[in-house]
Structure 1
Amino acid sequence: MTITKQDELDGLKEIGRIVANAMRSMAKAVEPGMTTRELDEIGQAFLEREGAVSAPQSCYDFPGATCISVNEEIAHGIPGDRVIAQGDLVNIDVSASKNGYFADTGATFRVGPVEHSLERLCKDGKRAMQIGIAQVGSGRPLAAIGDAIGHFASQRGYTLIRNLASHGVGRSLHEYPGEIATWPTRSDRRRINKGLVLTVEPFLSKGGLWAAEGDDGWTLYSEPSAPVVQYEHTIVATDRDPIIVTLPG
């Protein structure tokens, strides 16, 4: 989607705030002993109260309102009977629509203390997303996002999952300009147009290179097996700083 009018931006900001607040409410509720289904029910109830519709359910018939991925699960985890434990990394990904506008956000949360390397991975994962967002501006190359994230990851000794990309969003969950690499690529010559709505969501890892689908047909796992974190915002490109619409408030 390309924003051309204020009411479009207002609609996008509304659903952006909703998904951000839904994720925040889920993150505050996470505790050892609860199941991922119980956590998902908190997110679903929040979305329903706000008049929003889960995008994974409405667009893809996903068996959950949100995606919850624990430890070795790196994306698209199905909420279920898995019990969250002390020391787990829990990724919560919330996307939804309201009044024809879609927004998408995600983050990895630590359940109690974790080992130092995982603490560092989480902090650097969030930083990688921020570095990518800083590359977004009217007329700038889309590839600059992945180039900047890749440089940061390499400097810090990390790898990036290279088949889970950022994407256009706004009037549907995945739309123009399609996939946007969050790793270095030489083949992408596209430029960012003013008002473009997109996600920035690098998957930073301690050795993982690819996402592989599990037996349930949804859950993705790292290959090679390694810890992975993901942080994501929906943003709008402008002539100045990008607008982050998935902020709680």
Structure 2
Amino acid sequence: MIITSDDELQKLKAIGRICAQAVEVMAKALEPGITTLELDEIGRRVLEENGAQSAPEFCYQFPGATCISVNEEVAHGIPGSRVIAAGDLVNIDVSAVKDGFFGDTGASFAVPPVTREVEKLLRDGRRALWTGLQQVKTGKPIAGIGNAIGVFAKKNRYTLITNLASHGIGRSLHEEPTEVPTWPDADESRIMEEGLVFTVEPFLSLGGEWAEDGGNGDPWTLYSDPRAPTVQFEHTIVVTRNGPLILTLAE
């Protein structure tokens, strides 16, 4: 969507803040022995206490309030009986709706102790997100986001998952602009308009290049191909003349 009023902006800020708070509270509860379902219930409680509803449930009948992906899982992991263990790499992705407006954010976390390689991957995952965000400005090409992230990934010897794109958001969870690439894409020719709302969410990996389903009767969970540790960090933003206005901050 393109924001046309301050009322729209305030409602987007409100739901963005709620999503960020859910990720923050869930991350603080992340420890060995907790199940992904217990973690999901913590996130659900944050959403409901703030008058919001899980977007995956609302839009797609997803079997959980949030997406929690562990180790070999890249995205859309279903909360359940899986027990978090020391050394696990966990992605928490929260999207929700309130007053007809949607927010979407996510981050990856490691449960100590972890290898220096994974610590560096987490640090650089955040750096990749901010590298993309720095390209957001009214009148600039959308392709600049993926191009900058691509340069960063190559320089630091990472790969990018190239079929999990960022997306427009606002009055729907997924809307125009669809399929915003966070990797170099020669076919991307769109220009960022003032007030445009979308996510930026690169998937940085130690070798993965594609996301695929794992079969086994699970239509949701995605895995990297080839299998490799992968992190995702995501913000919902508004395009302005001064750069990105980040909506998904806890404070």
In the superposition, the TM-score normalised over structure 1's length comes to 0.99
Partner of 2:234: 232
Report the 3-state secondary structure (helix = DSSP H, G, I; strand = E; otherwise coil) of the residue aligned with 2:248: coil
Deviation at 1:15, TM superposition (A): 0.2
Q: Deviations over 1:71-94 (max 9, x none)?
A: 000100000000000010110000
Q: Distance in 1 between matches of 2:155 and 2:84?
A: 32
Number of residue pairs the alignment of both structures matches: 249
* Residue 40 in structure 1 maps to residue 40 in structure 2: yes
The unaligned stretches of length 5 or more in structure 2 are none
Deviation at 1:229, TM superposition (A): 0.3
Q: Distance in 1 between matches of 2:189 and 2:92?
A: 32
Deviation at 1:214, TM superposition (A): 1.8
The one-letter amino acid paired with 1:227 is P
After TM superposition, list the pairs within 5 Å mapping 1:14-29 onto structure 2.
Answer: 14-29=14-29
The one-letter amino acid paired with 1:147 is N
* Residue 219 in structure 1 maps to residue 221 in structure 2: yes
Deviation at 1:4, TM superposition (A): 1.6
Partner of 2:197: 197
Q: Deviations over 1:33-89 (max 9, x none)?
A: 010000000000110110001000000000000000000001000000000000101
Deviation at 1:110, TM superposition (A): 1.0
Q: Distance in 2 between matches of 1:178 and 1:242?
A: 18
Report the 3-state secondary structure (helix = DSSP H, G, I; strand = E; otherwise coil) of the residue aligned with 2:63: coil
Partner of 1:248: 250
Q: Distance in 2 between matches of 1:214 and 1:2?
A: 36
Partner of 1:93: 93
Q: Does structure 1 conserve the Cα–Cα contact (< 8 Å) formed by 2:103 and 2:170? A: yes
Partner of 1:210: 210
Q: Distance in 2 between matches of 1:83 and 1:222?
A: 21
Report the 3-state secondary structure (helix = DSSP H, G, I; strand = E; otherwise coil) of the residue aligned with 2:243: coil
Deviation at 1:113, TM superposition (A): 2.2
The one-letter amino acid paired with 2:139 is G
The unaligned stretches of length 5 or more in structure 1 are none
Q: Deviations over 1:137-162 (max 9, x none)?
A: 11110000000000000000000000
Q: Distance in 2 between matches of 1:112 and 1:24?
A: 17
Partner of 2:9: 9
Partner of 2:102: 102
Partner of 1:149: 149
Report the 3-state secondary structure (helix = DSSP H, G, I; strand = E; otherwise coil) of the residue aligned with 1:237: strand
Q: Distance in 2 between matches of 1:161 and 1:124?
A: 15
Q: Distance in 2 between matches of 1:107 and 1:113?
A: 18
Share of identical aligned residues, percent? 63
RMSD: 0.6
Q: Deviations over 1:3-26 (max 9, x none)?
A: 121111100000000000011000
Report the 3-state secondary structure (helix = DSSP H, G, I; strand = E; otherwise coil) of the residue aligned with 1:242: strand
Q: Deviations over 1:106-133 (max 9, x none)?
A: 0001111210000000000010000101
In the superposition, the TM-score normalised over structure 2's length comes to 0.98
The one-letter amino acid paired with 1:20 is A
Q: Distance in 2 between matches of 1:72 and 1:229?
A: 10
Q: Distance in 2 between matches of 1:101 and 1:130?
A: 24
Partner of 1:122: 122
Q: Does structure 1 conserve the Cα–Cα contact (< 8 Å) formed by 2:3 and 2:195? A: yes
After TM superposition, list the pairs within 5 Å mapping 1:55-70 onto structure 2.
Answer: 55-70=55-70
Report the 3-state secondary structure (helix = DSSP H, G, I; strand = E; otherwise coil) of the residue aligned with 2:45: helix
Q: Does structure 1 conserve the Cα–Cα contact (< 8 Å) formed by 2:138 and 2:243? A: no
